[in-house]
Structure formats: structure tokens, C-alpha cells
Amino acid sequence: MPYYIQSDASDLILGRNTKDEFVIGGCGTTDWRKGADLFIIIANQLNIKYPHATIIFRWVGAFPGIELERLNYELRKCKMENKVFFEFSSCDLNNFYNSIDLFLLTSREDPYPLVILEAAKFNVPSICFDLVCGSKDFILHSNGGIIVPFLDIDRMVEEIIGFYNDINFRNKMGKNANDYLKSTHSKDEYVYNKFKELLKK
């Protein structure tokens, strides 16, 4: 899908990695398709295996209602209220993307999530499941993240720890994603030509 993402360096806050906490971001509605429940499962398994890792999980896009109540119930049961946070939707996501070190896409199905491109705009690498979405194509072509076998929670945890332990690897992946974004989805001509190709088909 030829999304257009305007490149504006003024949105990016430099030096955000000086903070003590490693922040993993998620974004979207909290329905089954987006895998908000998997966000909790991954966080919980990571905390069990690596209890001393200073990692928090932030999900933006929640709405008041039964879905959020269920998620908060699970957080209380596994005592993860201080590690995982579901936040309401916001029109301005710049602060969110500037605050995270890694974007975690837990979708079970998603055609071509815009959030992967938005994360790349902020030099943030991404990680997602295989076989569920077009984000795989962006990550593969950009070398701007990691693709994990579908629902392989253990592998997802290990890949997250890899980003957590290696800031150079994390920064390189983030730059790769940003460079590829600028050469594709941030260029009017690229997006226009992609639309032309699709219309011809």
C-alpha cells in the first residue's frame, strides 16, 4: 500500500536513549486482531525470564470499555501494572514515538500497518510476527527490524532482549528503517508511481 509519510526532522528529538528505561511501544485499537492481549503475554514472559531488565511497554490507542477492562484485569492478575500501560488515543503521537526504543507490532492480521512507517520516521526499528501483515515487506526491504514466526512468544522475547542489550544494533536498524522510508514512502513520485502500477492492474 503506497502510504505517504511526510519526512520532517523537526519532529525527532535527539538523544532520547539517555533515559534508564527501555520503552517498547504498541499502537492501535485493543481488539483481538491487533493483539493487545499478546502485548501483555510478551511483556509477562519477558519479565519472568528477565526480571531485572528495565523495560516498560506502552500501548497508545485504547478506549474506555470492556476490552480495556479485560486487559487491565489481566495486568492485575500477573502483577504487571507497573510494566505495561494502555493509554488513550491521541491526535499528536510525536511524543509517543520519541519516547520509545522499539516498536512491537502484535497484530494477528493487518494489511500494511501505518504505525510501522510512523515508527521508522522517528528512527525506531520494529518487530512483528510473520505471515500476518505487509509490515514484513517493509522490514525486509529496509532491514529495519525483525520478523518472528507467528505467535512464537519465546522468540519474540529473545529478539526484544537483543535490541535491549545492543544499542548499536538498535540504532542501526532504526536508521535503516528511516533511510528506506525517506527513499520510498516520503517521496511523492514513489507513491504516485505505485498508485499508477496498481491502477494498471
Instruction: Measure the CA–CA gap between 156 and 39, rounded to whole angstroms.
Output: 11
pLDDT at 1 over 80: no
Angle of helix 167-183 relative to helix 135-142, nearest 10 degrees?
110
Query: For residue 189, is pLDDT > 70?
Result: no
Distances from the Cα of 26 to the Cα of 10, 38, 88, angstroms: 23, 11, 12
List pLDDT tens digits, range 34-89: 999 999 999 999 999 999 999 999 999 988 899 999 999 999 999 999 999 999 88
Task: State yes or no: pLDDT of 191 exceeds 60.
Answer: no
- Say if residue 4's pLDDT is above 50: no
Q: What is the pLDDT of residue 14?
A: 41
- Mean predicted lDDT score pLDDT of the chain: 85
Mean pLDDT within 118-132: 93
**Residue 160 or 4, more confident:** 160
At 135-159, the pLDDT tens digits run 888 899 999 999 999 999 999 999 9
For the stretch 101-114, pLDDT in tens is 999 999 998 887 78
Can you tell me the distance from the alpha carbon of 129 to that of 107, in angstroms, rounded to the nearest whole number?
Answer: 7
